[in-house]
Amino acid sequence: MSPAEACLSAEERARLIELLRDSHAEFLELTANLTEAEWVATPPGGWSVQQTAEHIVTGEALMLRRVKAALAAEPDPEWEAQDARKAKFLYRVLPDRSLKATAPDPLKPSHEWSVAETTARFEEGRQGTIEFVAALAGPVKNRVAAHPFPVFDKLNAHHWLLYIPLHNQRHNRQIAEILKAGRACGPS
């Protein structure tokens, strides 16, 4: 396949930007007007909204670094065999909250950011990611970087970019679950 076929198509770029914007809007809607109690309430065995939001913010920054690492790598001659299958796999498994995963240590929440600080960090990171995708040129599908979970193995730069909003969607669902559970247990 030619190097041009390893580039993002206009449709793929538009879809990525749409996913980034949609998951961004959903996050902001979920976290708008939360009380401090809702922000920090931790369900048994789970994360608070604050911890989940921090994980989204730090995850996006780490994933964008993985994109850049992939782009700096030599072309992978095996990329074509994995490309479509991996993209379908990501779309299927990442948003699915029934499939549990443990965050790698660098993505475990360790700060106590306020709603305002977290939102500002999220906004800045997401704007940077959207600008990065909009300006991205050259081959991206034939450049890979390893994922810490063996089930994912290596992801190409396009897959890593898809991972960002799909991961965000997953954790938006988690935030919605936390809020629903907390409100169900609150005063009537």
Map out the domains of the chain with their CATH numbers: 3-185 (1.20.120.450)
Conformation bin of residue 65: beta by default, left when phi > 0, alpha when psi is -120 to 50? alpha
pLDDT digits (tens, 9 = 90+) for 3-30: 668 999 999 999 999 999 999 999 999 9
- State residue 99's pLDDT score: 85
Prediction pTM value:
0.92
pLDDT digits (tens, 9 = 90+) for 37-65: 999 999 988 999 999 999 999 999 999 99
- State residue 188's pLDDT score: 38
Q: Is the pLDDT of residue 185 over 80?
A: no
Q: Are 79 and 138 in contact (CB under 8 A)?
A: no
Whole-number percent of the chain with pLDDT over 90: 75
Q: Is the pLDDT of residue 139 over 60?
A: yes
Phi then psi for residue 156, to 5 deg, are -80, 170
